[in-house]
Structure formats: structure tokens, C-alpha cells
Amino acid sequence: MNVFGVDIGGSGIKGAPVDLERGDLAQERFKVLTPHPATPDAVADGVTEVVSHFGWSGPVGITFPGVVTGGVTRTAANVDKGWVDVDASKLLGERLGGLPVTILNDADAAGVAEMTFGAGRGRKGTVMLLTFGTGIGSAVFIDGRLVPNTELGHLELHGNDAEKHASTKVKDDEGLSWHHWAHRVQKYLEHVEMLFSPELFIIGGGVSRKADKFVPLIKGIRAEIVPAELQNNAGIVGAAMAAADR
């Protein structure tokens, strides 16, 4: 069965139909740039463009880079603050012509996909997926069960949100070498490990494609560290899974 997934990120909005038997995209994904400012109406335009590109007419799962409860977006760290307390399911459903819409946190979606089809498949204990991109997203699983909306990119590190110190955006903005950035990621993982003692860290986001450039440079972490197998498609797959579950 194919279901459509859309992943709203700080830099891009991408989507595709997903083959839920294989846990992979059924067609090549289509992407548009995230508008700036990323207001609800502007982002809804982008989502509509992505879905319309495929002529899709069924259920749609959509990720959001913030806390989502009951289809309402509660935080908006890397998009316009106008998203706070918006009924995103209603807004996006109306803009998509009444299609059934399911919305959830972006890292949670990626985590569910990785736990089902990727690097976390069959793993018990505490598993954490961390997505590095415009910010840092997190998904925490206890014996395969998701603890939703953890948002651990906002843990304090060196007096600021951790994602202001160790995200991929910071690496690019500050022109950090892989070695320098890996050291920052290591400090962040040390902090998270102290608090949660996971057995496994899964590193997701677009940078997971280049895991060989920085993961071997991270030292002193007890937990196993692996790249996401679905890489930057994990959010799309997880969004489609959520829509299918609904």
C-alpha cells in the first residue's frame, strides 16, 4: 500500500508516495524550498505544491519541526512563531482540498521509520534518534515504544540551546571542519548520554549521508553510534506510516 508523506524542514519541504511494505519511497521525492518567513500560510502553499506535483488524492502524513499534540503545533523553533497553537491538521487538510491529514513531530516520524525499517529495527532498551539539520531533533524509544515530542535539541549546552552549538546549520554557518564539528557533536552526545543512558544513538538528517566523515571522530561515548539507514528520507517514510496508522 502506498501512502503520501511530507517532511517540513527548516530549509526544504519534500515529499513522495511511500511503499509501506518496503519502507521506501515509491517514487522519487519532490522538494521545494521552505519559505522565509515560514508562516503557516506560506508553508501550506509549499506542502500543497509538493502533494499536487504527484496528483495525490489519498491520506497524507506531514512532519513538523516542533511539538505536535492532537494535530496542533505547540512550538516553532525553526519556523515562524505564527505556528504556535495552530490547528495544523485542519489548516493543511483544508489547503489540500479535504484530504485526510496526519501531522506529527519530524524527528518522531524519522525515528518510527528507523525503528521499523532501518537502524533501530529489532532493538530493545533505550534507543535515541537524533536528526542534525537546521536544528537538532530527537526521538526517544523505550523497548520500541516512542516517547513523543522530546525536543532534546533544546537542552542547554554551554549556556544556549544545544542546536545553536552543534546543528548542521551551525557547522555550515561557522565554516567548521568535520573534526571541529564532530567535537561539538561529541559534547552534545555526552550530555544526552549522561541524562538518558541509551544503548544506541541513530544519527539522522541529511548529514547522515556523510556519517563516515564525522562519526569515527566521536570518542568516549558508551552507546553504539550508527547512521540512519533511511537517511534523509526517514521523515517522509515515518509521516506516511503515521497517516496509514490513522
What's the mean per-residue pLDDT of the chain? 97
Which of 77, 121, 74 is closest to 234 using CA atoms?
121
H or E element at residue 128 = strand 126-132
Query: What is the spatial order of strands in the sheet that 126-132 belongs to?
Result: 145-147, 136-142, 126-132, 200-204, 224-227
pLDDT beyond 90 at 1: no
pLDDT beyond 90 at 208: yes
pLDDT at res. 246: 85
Which of 101, 87, 121, 112 is closest to 51 using CA atoms?
101
Q: What is the pLDDT of residues 19-41, one digit of tens each?
A: 999 999 999 999 999 999 999 99
What is each CA distance from 138 to 73, 75, 97, 112, in whole angstroms? 16, 14, 31, 11
Interatomic CA distance for residues 151 and 227, integer angstroms: 19
Q: What is the pLDDT of residues 109-129, one digit of tens each?
A: 999 999 999 999 999 999 999
Angle at CA 70, nearest 5°, toward 206 and 116?
45
- Check residue 207 and report its DSSP letter: G
- Predicted TM-score (pTM) of the model is 0.96
Q: What is the pLDDT of residues 34-85, one digit of tens each?
A: 999 999 999 999 999 999 999 999 999 999 999 999 999 999 989 999 999 9
pLDDT at res. 87: 98
